[in-house]
Amino acid sequence: MCGRFVGNFAVSDLLDELRDAGIEATVAGGTPERISNFNTAPTHDCLVVRAGEMGPVIGPARWGLLPVWAKDPAMASKLINARSETITEKPSFRNLVKGHRAMIPMTGFYEWDRTDAKNKRPYFVPRADGRTMWAAGLWTHSPLIGCDTFTLITRESLADLSSIHHRSPVQLDVGDCISWALDEDAPLGLLALDEQPLLAPYEVGRAVNAVRNTGPGLIEPVGGPDGPRDTLF
């Protein structure tokens, strides 16, 4: 499960990154120039990329999927993640796989080492190369709350994260994630690749445990920005 992540992006930077990958994207009306949240949690707004009539579109969406048939906004809290193994079967997700796929840019995400139940240790998980992490998701427009909503797709963790948590977001190189969002037929094989961009988890302070806390200090390694990173490897 992924329950927190960092999204710290200017729309112009995302446009440039997509352009470098050979993709020209447009921006949905009303999209803020930047969304910066170092403790993104369910119900928070984020930037996502999805297919539009003329190609990929960058716009805001709220984390926590609300299907068009949902009658209670609280349902979104139960649909922040979708298991890759069952998205074509579950009623909340299966009708979205055909034409409502999205890519969610992240600076990285948080996971907690729960080996000691009384001393859960938070880790920040960025890409090892420092590049933007592109996660696969599904989206839909919710008439109940009048905005787009999304869920992150998760998979069994690979070796670089499995010692902390057994599941993690499906994260792909930008080219593969563009295929996930835009291909006419859903490239479901991308959800179970044997390799993905290498991750570099390191321990951070417990301030991230409280959603009200935000800001870049949350991703400083334990011991401060100049201290050693207590990594897993």
Confidence of residue 231 (pLDDT cuts 50, 70, 90): very low
Residues spanned by the domain of 88: 5-219
Confidence of residue 228 (pLDDT cuts 50, 70, 90): very low
Residue 231 lies in a domain: no
Place of tokens 């291909």: 183
- Calculate mean pLDDT across residues 171-191: 94
Q: How many domains does the chain have?
A: 1
Residue 21 lies in a domain: yes
> Which residue in 195, 201, 177, 197 sits closest to 187, CA to CA?
177
CATH of the domain at 40: 3.90.1680.10
Q: Each residue of 32-90: pLDDT tens digit?
A: 999 999 999 999 999 999 998 888 999 999 999 999 999 999 999 999 999 999 999 99
Confidence (pTM): 0.92
Residue 129 lies in a domain: yes
Residue 62 lies in a domain: yes
Residue 226 lies in a domain: no
20 class by beta-carbon count within 10 Å (0-12 exposed, 13-18 middle, 19+ buried)? exposed
Residue 229 lies in a domain: no
- Calculate mean pLDDT across residues 224-229: 52
CA torsion through residues 180, 169, 105, 52, sign: positive
**Mean pLDDT of all residues belonging to the chain:** 91
Confidence of residue 119 (pLDDT cuts 50, 70, 90): confident
Confidence of residue 117 (pLDDT cuts 50, 70, 90): confident
Residue 87 lies in a domain: yes
- Calculate mean pLDDT across residues 151-164: 85
- Joined together, the tokens standing for residue 59 give 């716009």
- Joined together, the tokens standing for residue 132 give 């933007």
The C-alpha R_g of the chain, in whole angstroms, comes to: 17
